[in-house]
Amino acid sequence: MGYIEDSLMKDEHVEFEAQLHPIVYWAPIAIAVLGFVCLFLPFDQVENPWLQEHAWLVRILLMLVLFVTAVVRTIEIHGGKRYVVTNRRLIFKRGIIRRRSHELMLRRVEGVQVDQTIMGRLLGYGSVSVTTGEVTNTYDYIRQPMRFSAMINQMIDSMNAH
């Protein structure tokens, strides 16, 4: 079981889990492709004899640095993030080794706002901001942000009905 499942209160259950949109991976993919391209850099026109002699080593090192950068960037972006709406709370958890979480009781939520750029509307991602009066938490690059917002509002409405 994961953090979310372990932290549920009595009679609490997950209603919806938002997903990160794949667009968050465009930068790591671009960095990895750049690393691959480094394997084909021409060093035969360089005047430095050491560089000409060790061109394969320089290519490999550049590629490795860029691939490691891409992996680190991917971990930073995704990093075990989970956005969950339960019948009582909104839970945001991130971290693989070091864990951080924010938990908002739905009864304290005062507003939910969705922000989508033109690209976000075309590709189906956006940011969802949840306000509790004193604090605003923003969740970026959410796939189907309108659905996430609707689920939060639906859970708030069902709590108020009881």
Domain boundaries, the chain: 14-162
How do residues 5-61 score in pLDDT, each as one tens digit? 888 889 999 999 998 888 888 888 888 888 888 778 787 777 878 877 888 888 888
Share of the chain above pLDDT 90, in %: 34
Report in angstroms the alpha-carbon separations of 141 from 95, 110, 128: 17, 22, 9
DSSP labels, 84-125: EEESSEEEEEE-SSS-EEEEEEGGG--EEEEE--HHHHHHTE
* Whether 71 contacts 81, CB under 8 Å: no
pTM of the model: 0.75
CATH of domain 14-162: 2.30.29.30
Mean residue pLDDT of the chain comes to: 86
Answer for the pair 106, 155: CB distance below 8 angstroms, yes or no. yes
Cα distance between residue 21 and residue 124, in whole Å: 8
- Tell me the three state secondary structure of residue 129: strand
CA 106 to CA 51: how far, in whole Å?
61
Question: Is the pLDDT assigned to residue 129 strictly greater than 90?
Answer: yes
Q: How far apart are CA 67 and CA 59, in angstroms?
A: 12
